[in-house]
Amino acid sequence: MTLLLDAVTLAYRDRPVLEGVDLEIRTGEILVIAGASGCGKSTLLRALAGLLPVTSGRLLDRGEPVRGPSADRALMFQDDALLPWRSARRNVELPLAIRGMPRAERTSRADEWLARVGLAGLELRLPRDLSGGQRQRVQLARVLAGGPRAVLMDEPFGALDPQTRREMQRLLVEVWNAETTVVFVTHDVEEALTLGDRVAVLGGGGLADLVEIPLPRTSADPSLRARVLTALGAPALETT
Ligand SMILES: Nc1ncnc2c1ncn2[C@@H]1O[C@H](COP(=O)(O)OP(=O)(O)O)[C@@H](O)[C@H]1O
Ligand SMILES: [Mg+2]
């Protein structure tokens, strides 16, 4: 197991957002965190990233308390976090440069990842000359090129149009390697069922349900859909 939450409570000042969360995140799984807006998904992800200390309980990474950010646990957001003055290649190189990888090696590693996400030939483009979907591909390449043990993604495809979003979901599953643990936050039930090995549904200030999604992943299974929707607690959400 990679990450363990044991009776974790997360709060801002004195106001708890999540209380008593018990969760084992398995090495190499894609764990989706689902839940309505404001239920604490980003808060949980920030704690996993080491950006927010637990108020009580234990948060362990391979048995050691998480005390701060680590390159082993890489974050990816919805907002475009690319540096606008750096080419796609130089953006992907950045975390490798920070780690001290020699230039020739990081350039070939960056180009390899850009090719893997379908951007061969666009290495020298600046972010402003790429589409939104292409920029998300660069971000995905950047996150994965660093070889983190865990990738923490906060609604990374939320701003994309539906077709590009589906392409990115397919791409993620394609390039994800089975040793990398992915924690993927979404409020979209279809996305949760498409991507997740398991779906942890947050609600009511805690973990409302933990649903195992059998392989092959299919969002067509109506009973699993119903279960996730029930855990989300609102038939109204079905329309969003
Ligand atoms: N920095 C902060 N300070 C105080 N309250 C916050 C902060 N960030 C989020 N919250 C509150 O915590 C709750 C959960 O927020 P968040 O984790 O962002 O929800 P989600 O990502 O599920 O939409 C919300 O009520 C939000 O207003
Ligand atoms: Mg959020």
pLDDT attached to residue 77 = 78
pLDDT attached to residue 87 = 97
pLDDT attached to residue 232 = 81
Partnered with residue 58 across adjacent β-strands are: 6
pLDDT attached to residue 113 = 94
Q: Which atom of ligand 1 has the smallest separation from the CA of 39?
A: 22
What tens-digit pLDDT sequence spans the chain (240 residues)? 589 999 999 999 989 999 999 999 999 999 999 999 999 999 999 999 999 999 999 999 999 999 999 988 998 877 778 999 999 999 999 989 988 999 999 999 999 999 999 999 999 999 999 998 999 999 999 999 988 999 999 999 888 889 989 989 988 988 888 889 999 999 888 899 889 999 999 999 999 999 998 877 666 678 888 888 888 875 544 444
- Provide the strand spans (E) within the chain: 3-12, 15-25, 30-34, 56-61, 64-65, 73-77, 150-154, 181-186, 198-203, 206-212
Q: Are 209 and 227 in contact (CB under 8 A)?
A: yes
Give the number of whichever ligand sits closest to the CA of residue 46: 1
pLDDT attached to residue 76 = 87
The torsion angles phi and psi of 7, rounded to 5 degrees, stand at: 50, 45
pLDDT attached to residue 239 = 45
For ligand 1, whether the C-beta of 47 sits within 6 Å is no
pLDDT attached to residue 220 = 67
Best mutation site among 37, 42, 240 for ligand 1 pocket (most ligand atoms within 8 Å of CB): 42
Best mutation site among 43, 45, 201, 207 for ligand 1 pocket (most ligand atoms within 8 Å of CB): 43
pLDDT attached to residue 219 = 60
Neighbours of 168 (CB within 10 A): 19
The whole-angstrom separation of Cα 99 and Cα 180 is: 19
Give the number of whichever ligand sits closest to the CA of residue 39: 1
For ligand 1, whether the C-beta of 42 sits within 6 Å is yes
pLDDT attached to residue 92 = 96
Neighbours of 129 (CB within 10 A): 12
For ligand 1, whether the C-beta of 186 sits within 6 Å is no
Q: Are 193 and 219 in contact (CB under 8 A)?
A: yes
How is domain 1-72+184-240 classified at the CATH fold level?
Answer: Rossmann fold (3.40.50)
For ligand 1, whether the C-beta of 43 sits within 6 Å is yes
